[in-house]
Amino acid sequence: MISYLMVGTNDLARAVKFFAALMDAMGATKVYESEASAGWGWGIGTPMFIVARPYDKNAATVGNGSMVSFGIDSKDKVDSLYAQALALGGTSEGEPGLRGDTLYAAYFRDLDGNKFNFICYL
């Protein structure tokens, strides 16, 4: 089982503001915030999402081929969250739409260039 997913940032305050809006829209609660990281969760026993400054104090970089996917319960919510991510300053990596016969997804990058998607299984 996955305990948490973490992405790096070079500007924690900016990243927390970006993700706070999206996490709230997905029903997550901020579990903690420190000088080095912040985390949101959906309840005990579910994975947590964390954004953090790198521990080694080097610059955060984007993992080529890495992506975090958030499971969403409807196509309309995928559309809404994608639009919100872009309005918050994220960039598009693939507009909302069908991916095969059973997936509806939208892809974006956060303010640090990390890749994410919102996905609804049909």
What is the C-alpha to C-alpha distance for residues 6 and 30, in angstroms, rounded to an integer? 14
What is the C-alpha to C-alpha distance for residues 62 and 49, in angstroms, rounded to an integer? 16
- Looking at residue 63, its pLDDT comes to 85
Q: 119: which strand partners?
A: 71, 105
What is the C-alpha to C-alpha distance for residues 5 and 49, in angstroms, rounded to an integer? 5
Write out the two tokens for 65: 């081929």
CATH architecture of 4-54+67-121: Roll (3.10)
pLDDT in tens, 14-59: 999 999 999 999 999 999 999 999 999 999 999 999 999 999 999 9
- Looking at residue 11, its pLDDT comes to 97
Q: What is the reported pTM?
A: 0.90
Closest CA to 79 of 28, 120, 111, 109: 120
Per-residue confidence band for 62, with pLDDT thresholds at 50, 70 and 90: confident
Query: In whole numbers, what is the pLDDT of the chain averaged over residues?
Result: 95
